[in-house]
Structure 1
Amino acid sequence: MSTPGRTRRVPIWDNARAACILLVVLGHAIQRLTYDSDIAQSIYYLIYAFHMPAFALISGYFSRSDPPSRRRMVRILTDIVLPYVIFDGLWTLAKLVVEGRIDPNLTQPSWTLWFLLALAIFRLVLPYLALLRMPLLWTLVVSISVGYLPNVDSTLSLSRTLGLLPFFTLGWWLHQHGFLDRHRLLERRRTSLRLAAGAALVAAGVCAWLFVDDLRTMGLGRWLFYEEDYADLGGTQWWAGGIRLLLMAAALVLSVAFFVLMPRREYRWTAIGRATMYVYLLHSFALYPLRESGILRGLDPTWLWLPLVAVLSVAITAALASTPVRRIFRPLVEPRPGWLFADPGLVGSEGSRRDPTGSRRPQTATTAGS
């Protein structure tokens, strides 16, 4: 029974976030294998086709569109902006030690840090989007249109942020209109629906495998990053935005299939979904030596090494979400510098910590077992 006045965790969201963060680690881990292996390249395409849109959907679902209170404004700074500054500084030092070069630039996110900036911008613009009629349509127009503008680039992660904005807005819209609760989509799923979801993901994987050479030629991986304008991607035609629209439709279908397959009950691994910020911010440091040393290049046979890299990804994900790691790195991942603010009481206490990608629903809901 839930305690009155308190929110209750709904396991499906922690399960989904745990699965998403594992896909993030796996995608980064196998990236070097894609140079020598078609199967690794196919899996890479499948992962990148939907995993960050799915993360944006979850983040939007747990975001509020009402004017932010002072405490919520502080949370954006302490939960998103400060970790971004801290870890960008750590990456600057790492590059100085390993590569002998230093180029500090907070406007150009280092490797995985772009999503933190995207989250901050998402949260800041959502109250304004909520004032519009048909906000989903407007964000879709923005996402497609920015690809025609060469001056919208990776600076402050703006190209990716605007590219993924429709998914974040859709997540918010689904919660705002009670869509999932009204249709009882968080409860037990029909077997036919699960089969259809599995078939969709399998079909996407098979297509990625069968047409891997064609997809590599068109530079699909770069299209899935939402980072470059269409001209740089080779889409100089006026209808190039249609390619992004098709990729977004595919991302939505695959994300829905992914959520349908998520277990509704809590498991031991569900706890990983409550520590995704730790995994997200720390895994790149764990993978950096492997990626840069060349160990992951030219591994043969693929049928042996690819599963081993997958197992390594699972181990890294579980380790970085563990209690000892969270205890050690909490000051970096979840800084609470009361001295920075005019009112230190707005920073919050130890018990008020919460992953900024969202892990609770604003009201209690009833869920059935998987």
Structure 2
Amino acid sequence: MSSAEQRPPDTSTGAIPRPRRRVPFWDNARFACVILVVLGHGIQRLTYDSAISESLYLVIYAFHMPAFAMISGYFSKSASPNRRQMARVITDILVPYVIFEALWMLTKWLVEGRADPNLTQPSWTLWFLLALGIFRLVLPYLALLRWPLAWALIISIGVGYMSNVNSTFSLSRTLGLLFFFTLGWWLSEHDIVRRMRLIDYRPWWVRAAALAVLAVWSFVVWRWIDVWREIDLRQWFFYDDSYADLTGELLWWAGAVRLAVMALAIVLSAAFFALIPRRAQWWTTLGQYTMYVYLLHSFVLYPFRESGVLRGLDPTWFWLPAVTALSVATAFLLASKPVRRLFRPLIEPRPRWMFADPGIVATGHRSDPTGSRRTR
């Protein structure tokens, strides 16, 4: 992979730059991550009645959103935004957020007979949409500082000590995951992936080590599942609650626990990325449409989640693979061309009428907030 694939071309010499090509690995990684998102939500109701389901849930939640945040950061820019980029924060994040909050309000009113419109409290999966917006707004300021990774780490750990920082605008979760987003940007900014050949060089022992890491973590989760239930480990993986809420009181060493959880997420993410195919697959292009899967899958799962049909399913050996297969199929379906064509006005709105200068609103297909169509 050449450096031109990772960074904007250098035109200072007057030479005509070669067009940048997409790196299939990143599209593969994006789609694999969003499959884990759907799978995690799909098996969530099974975890109450099945230890093996809860083990799989904890394995996924230990790293899948940190990995997603890292990929998003890798394709983010730290330069001061121009007018068009500022407009994209509105069109790509704020407008879809309002649209889908309205859809959730309508859904809850129709299904549950109640509606509680409150844009400050994101519904279910919409927290990550707000998080991406905040990440993009904060990154240029972090990039101005010396040691931006260190500052991001301090913020991600320190926010847990602040009980007044909560789920309003998903701020606690956003700041908790800020380090992973910044880490992704830092890897791109310093060209670490190309210089260390992290994609090109993939000998058998790297894949074997990655499998071993994931296997060991899976065994540890399953073997001591009662311990993880007792300490409510899943809540630590959400990066949402304050330490006082997680432990019952504010303990000075709680930040060290989050640091350990973050280190685990990085190790597992690295193992996960090491197993992602480098070359184009038949499903690679679907990695450009992860936002469709992310925003729509919760509506597919909502009836199953609320009806209770996923509770008490036995035997686990049948229902866990079945729900897993259906979750994967759902991800593929929601990324398909017919679904994209149908829901494009909601997920990629073009509200030119909102702007004093309609020309700053991008036309055609645009990169979603994860940077899924950028070739940086």
Q: Which bin holds the TM-score, normalised by the shorter protein?
A: over 0.9
Q: Distance in 2 between matches of 1:360 and 1:32?
A: 33
Q: Pick one of 95, 101, 109 that aligns with 1:82.
A: 95
Amino acid at match of 2:371: G
Instruction: List per-residue Cα deviations over 1:9-55 (Å, max 9, x = no partner).
Output: 11111000110000000000000000000000000000000000000
Find out whether 1:147 has 2:168 as its counterpart.
no
Residue matched to 1:38: 51
Amino acid at match of 2:356: A
Task: Say which SS state the counterpart of residue 283 (structure 2) adopts.
Answer: helix
Find out whether 1:301 has 2:315 as its counterpart.
yes
Find out whether 1:345 has 2:359 as its counterpart.
yes
Name which of structure 1's ranges 97-106 and 184-193 shifts more when overlaid on structure 2.
184-193
Residue matched to 1:203: 216
Structure 1 residue 353, shift from structure 2 partner: 1.5
Written as runs of structure 1 = structure 2, the 5 A alignment for 1:206-245 is 206-234=219-247, 236-245=250-259
Contact 2:43 2:320 in 1 (8 A): yes
Structure 1 residue 4, shift from structure 2 partner: 5.3
Written as runs of structure 1 = structure 2, the 5 A alignment for 1:275-286 is 275-286=289-300
Written as runs of structure 1 = structure 2, the 5 A alignment for 1:218-367 is 218-234=231-247, 236-350=250-364, 352-360=365-373, 362-363=375-376
Structure 1 residue 314, shift from structure 2 partner: 1.0
Amino acid at match of 1:253: V
Written as runs of structure 1 = structure 2, the 5 A alignment for 1:174-213 is 174-213=187-226
Q: Percent identity?
A: 65
Residue matched to 2:28: 15
Contact 2:367 2:374 in 1 (8 A): no
Contact 1:9 1:359 in 2 (8 A): no
Structure 1 residue 257, shift from structure 2 partner: 0.6
Q: Distance in 2 between matches of 1:186 and 1:81?
A: 34
Find out whether 1:119 has 2:139 as its counterpart.
no
Residue matched to 2:146: 133
Contact 1:8 1:361 in 2 (8 A): no
Contact 2:23 2:375 in 1 (8 A): no
Task: Say which SS state the counterpart of residue 297 (structure 2) adopts.
Answer: helix
Q: Pick one of 67, 70, 75 that aligns with 1:57.
A: 70
Structure 1 residue 7, shift from structure 2 partner: 3.1
Task: Say which SS state the counterpart of residue 238 (structure 1) adopts.
Answer: coil
Instruction: List per-residue Cα deviations over 1:87-122 (Å, max 9, x = no partner).
Output: 011000100000011100000000000000000000
Amino acid at match of 1:260: A
Find out whether 1:47 has 2:40 as its counterpart.
no
Structure 1 residue 152, shift from structure 2 partner: 0.4
Q: Distance in 2 between matches of 1:264 and 1:335?
A: 32
Amino acid at match of 2:102: G
Task: Say which SS state the counterpart of residue 224 (structure 1) adopts.
Answer: helix
Task: Say which SS state the counterpart of residue 233 (structure 1) adopts.
Answer: helix
Structure 1 residue 362, shift from structure 2 partner: 5.0
Amino acid at match of 2:47: T
Q: Distance in 1 between matches of 2:256 and 2:337?
A: 45
Instruction: List per-residue Cα deviations over 1:195-233 (Å, max 9, x = no partner).
Output: 111110111111110011100110111111111101111
Instruction: List per-residue Cα deviations over 1:39-85 (Å, max 9, x = no partner).
Output: 00000000000000000000000000000011111111111111111
Q: Distance in 2 between matches of 1:260 and 1:110?
A: 33
Contact 2:289 2:372 in 1 (8 A): no
Residue matched to 1:367: none
Amino acid at match of 2:250: T
Q: Distance in 2 between matches of 1:301 and 1:317?
A: 25
Residue-pair matches, total: 362
- Greater than 6 Å deviation, 4+ residue runs: none
Structure 1 residue 361, shift from structure 2 partner: 5.3
Task: Say which SS state the counterpart of residue 101 (structure 2) adopts.
Answer: helix
Structure 1 residue 270, shift from structure 2 partner: 1.3
Structure 1 residue 349, shift from structure 2 partner: 1.3
Contact 2:288 2:373 in 1 (8 A): no
Q: Distance in 2 between matches of 1:6 and 1:79?
A: 25
Q: Distance in 1 between matches of 2:179 and 2:151?
A: 8
Q: Distance in 1 between matches of 2:347 and 2:374?
A: 22
Amino acid at match of 1:217: E
Provide structure 1 residue ranges, at least 5 long, that are not aligned to the other structure: 364-370
Amino acid at match of 1:206: F
Q: Distance in 2 between matches of 1:34 and 1:142?
A: 32
TM-score normalised by length of structure 2? 0.94
TM-score normalised by length of structure 1? 0.95
Structure 1 residue 271, shift from structure 2 partner: 2.1
Contact 2:43 2:53 in 1 (8 A): yes
Q: Distance in 2 between matches of 1:360 and 1:253?
A: 26
